Amino acid sequence: MILGDQLSRGISSLSDADPKRDIVLLAEVADETRYVPHHPKKIAFIFSAMRHFAAELRAEGFKVDYVTLDDPANTGAFGSELARAVARHGAGSAVVTHPGEWRVLHAMQGWEDEARVPVEIRADERFFCALPQFRQWAEGRRQLRMEFFYREMRRGTGILMDADGEPVGGRWNFDAENRKAVPARLDMPPAFFVSPDAVTKEVLSLVAARFPDNFGTLEGFDYAVTAADARRALAHFIDHALPSFGDYQDAMRQGEDRLFHSVLSPYLNAGLLDPRAVCEAAETAWRQGLAPLNAVEGFIRQILGWREYVRGIYWLKMPDYAHTNRLGAYRSLPGLYWGAPTGMNCLHQCVDQTRRLAHAHHIQRLMVTGNFALLIGARPSEVAEWYLAVYIDAYEWVELPNVHGMVLYADGGYLGSKPYAASGKYIDRMSDYCRNCRYDVKQTVGPRACPFNFLYWNFLIENAPQLRSNQRMAMIYASMERMDEVKRAAIQDQAARFLGELTTEY
């Protein structure tokens, strides 16, 4: 049985598959479509990619049993669909690859009873770092740091290493060069798009009919849904965007949804692209002099470093990780996350882009929607549910550590050393959102003050018992303590009024 994010020909469950003997099962199941209210583009992407993958296996000679969502006999769950297929084909055993979510692994452990045949769960080998290797690395460390993990991965894989075992360019990390704002005049890379074929069009109709109320639009669906097109997307990125990826990695620009980002995460996570091939292509571009090292190292670090690191933490810490809430945050997510009007232009732009594309780039997720959720004290489980629902690349193994660890500090600093809390100044420096906003990013209190400003100071004041002793926050607490009492009271007062008026309606 192959799940919707296991669409790789090299997946372990297929490693010894014999077209003469074995039957491959794929199933569109209602449970997977509603454990969170997924963006319609995410559902359409997964279904279309599943259907194309099934067709490719059939063309190879495999007998594929594909259960569609609208099949009247569909029972709506992985386990019961496996049981039905086992009975249908008189199968003697089943083989699956370890899933990407703890929820599914937990259910999988009951599949032998449900299907009444042995079920072999094989390791997912599509990652650089096997789970036991990560566990061994993390053992005994009270706090983990991505940078050290990343260096081990560089050494272990030889990626961007020279013949003497040293990092190429003499440094592990070129981040200091990667914080430029986008200048007013800069040529943007051309967009990559794939026009929907007949299979995708059929899926789009199905999803439109079945999920009319989910947040997000299906209009303009142009994602790749096959491995071949995902490889074209990779080549397009390497040619057009990688050379400037590093420089503008942290930038945001109104009207430019993708800037120099790759938008490869949907393909990597669903199995249409292999992370090794992606890192190799980027390294080759550097070795051929087609892209600078700050760009290539920065890009590879996201995949060889962050992507592997968050997966390791997820499987090390689940299921408890999903319940972490170190800062005791309890507020419901305001309706603006689901498209309710807001005067805060940065939030409006990022949420609207999410509604249109089911994609936003990292800094938008971290420093706009994430930062706001942190500053208002939104309940981590609700924030996690939002991210899992609205992004086309979202599976819990990668979403949850980013939300609970990187954004909300809900894990108390296990994944990252401090919360990424920031005032409007950061957004102003890295984007042009503030120029088009009704609030004034230079003001901290008063009717036109940017909410990120008073919320930021209010967050620091309220969370001082938890955060003041953090060495990395010492400077900011020192400046907070220099603030005069009157200003501090005005900030707290305005933040209380603002928070009191936030509504969950949309």
Footprint on this chain of ligand SF4 (rule: CB under 6 A): 344-346, 424, 427-428, 433-434, 437, 439, 441, 450-452
Angle between the N-to-C axes of helices 308-317 and 131-138, in degrees from 0 to 180, rounded to the nearest 10: 80
Residue 214's binding partner among ligand SF4, ligand DLZ, ligand FAD, none (Cβ under 5 to 8 angstroms by kind) is none
Q: How many residues does the chain have?
A: 506
Q: Which of 236, 256, 264, 259 is nearest to 248 (CA)?
A: 259
Query: What is the C-alpha separation between 405 and 472, in angstroms, rounded?
Result: 16
Nearer CB in complex with ligand FAD: 40/79: 40
Secondary structure of the chain: what % helix, strand, coil (to 5)? 55, 5, 40
Q: Is 435 exposed, middle or buried (0-12, 13-18, 19+ CB in 10 A)?
A: exposed
Query: What is the C-alpha separation between 244 and 202, in angstroms, rounded?
Result: 37
Q: Which amino acid is at 323?
A: H
Residue 389's binding partner among ligand FAD, ligand SF4, ligand DLZ, none (Cβ under 5 to 8 angstroms by kind) is none
Nearer CB in complex with ligand SF4: 167/424: 424
Q: Which stretch binds ligand FAD (CB under 6 A): 168-176, 228-236, 325-333, 357-365?
A: 357-365
Nearer CB in complex with ligand FAD: 26/270: 270
| C-alpha dihedral (233, 234, 239, 244), degrees to nearest 10 | 110
To ligand SF4, the closest distance from the beta carbon of 367 in angstroms equals: 10
Q: Which amino acid is at 463?
A: N
Q: Using DSSP bridges, classify how beta strands 63-67 and 23-27 pair: parallel, antiparallel or unpaired.
A: parallel
To ligand DLZ, the closest distance from the beta carbon of 358 in angstroms equals: 12
Residue 269's binding partner among ligand DLZ, ligand SF4, ligand FAD, none (Cβ under 5 to 8 angstroms by kind) is ligand FAD
Asked if 368 and 252 touch (Cβ cutoff 8 Å), the reply is: yes
Per-residue mark of binding to ligand FAD, 259-278 (x: CB under 6 A): --xxxxx--xx---------
To ligand SF4, the closest distance from the beta carbon of 345 in angstroms equals: 4
Q: Is 170 exposed, middle or buried (0-12, 13-18, 19+ CB in 10 A)?
A: exposed
Q: Which of 145, 174, 152 is nearest to 247 (CA)?
A: 174
Query: What is the C-alpha separation between 455 and 444, in angstroms, rounded?
Result: 9
Nearer CB in complex with ligand DLZ: 214/463: 214
Rule CB under 6 A: is residue 391 a binding residue for ligand FAD?
yes
Query: What is the C-alpha separation between 258 and 196, in angstroms, rounded?
Result: 20
Nearer CB in complex with ligand FAD: 50/384: 384
Asked if 102 and 396 touch (Cβ cutoff 8 Å), the reply is: yes
- For tokens 């259907």, the residue is 51
Rule CB under 6 A: is residue 310 a binding residue for ligand FAD?
yes
Residue 5's binding partner among ligand SF4, ligand DLZ, ligand FAD, none (Cβ under 5 to 8 angstroms by kind) is ligand DLZ
Rule CB under 6 A: is residue 39 a binding residue for ligand FAD?
no
HEC letters along 394-440: CCHHHHHHHHHHHHCCCCCCCCCCCCCCCCHHHHHHHCCHHHHCCCE
Nearer CB in complex with ligand SF4: 206/455: 455
- For tokens 């990390």, the residue is 173
To ligand SF4, the closest distance from the beta carbon of 344 in angstroms equals: 4
To ligand DLZ, the closest distance from the beta carbon of 83 in angstroms equals: 15
Q: Which of 345, 354, 402, 444 binds ligand FAD (CB under 6 A)?
A: 402
Residue 265's binding partner among ligand DLZ, ligand FAD, ligand SF4, none (Cβ under 5 to 8 angstroms by kind) is ligand FAD
Nearer CB in complex with ligand SF4: 158/446: 446
To ligand FAD, the closest distance from the beta carbon of 437 in angstroms equals: 22
To ligand FAD, the closest distance from the beta carbon of 403 in angstroms equals: 5
Nearer CB in complex with ligand SF4: 146/367: 367
Asked if 410 and 404 touch (Cβ cutoff 8 Å), the reply is: yes
| Interface with ligand DLZ (CB under 6 A) | 3-5, 27-29, 32-33, 38, 43, 46, 99-101, 104, 395
Query: What is the C-alpha separation between 235 and 120, in angstroms, rounded?
Result: 36
To ligand FAD, the closest distance from the beta carbon of 130 in angstroms equals: 17
Rule CB under 6 A: is residue 225 a binding residue for ligand FAD?
no
Nearer CB in complex with ligand SF4: 395/456: 456
Q: Using DSSP bridges, classify how beta strands 119-122 and 94-97 pair: parallel, antiparallel or unpaired.
A: parallel
- Paired tokens of 36: 């969170």
- Alpha helix (H) residue ranges in 139-187: 146-157
Nearer CB in complex with ligand FAD: 295/437: 295
Nearer CB in complex with ligand DLZ: 9/141: 9
Nearer CB in complex with ligand FAD: 200/265: 265
Residue 241's binding partner among ligand DLZ, ligand FAD, ligand SF4, none (Cβ under 5 to 8 angstroms by kind) is none
Q: Under 8 Å CB-to-CB from 433, ≥6 apart: which residues?
A: 252, 254, 345, 346, 349, 368, 427
Rule CB under 6 A: is residue 296 a binding residue for ligand FAD?
no
Q: Which amino acid is at 504?
A: T
To ligand SF4, the closest distance from the beta carbon of 258 in angstroms equals: 20
Cα separation of the two ends of the chain: 39
* Nearest residue to ligand DLZ, by Cβ distance, number only: 4
Q: Which residues here bind ligand FAD, judged by CB under 6 A? A: 261-265, 268-269, 299, 302-303, 306-307, 310, 361-362, 365-366, 370, 387, 391, 393-394, 398-399, 402-403, 406-407
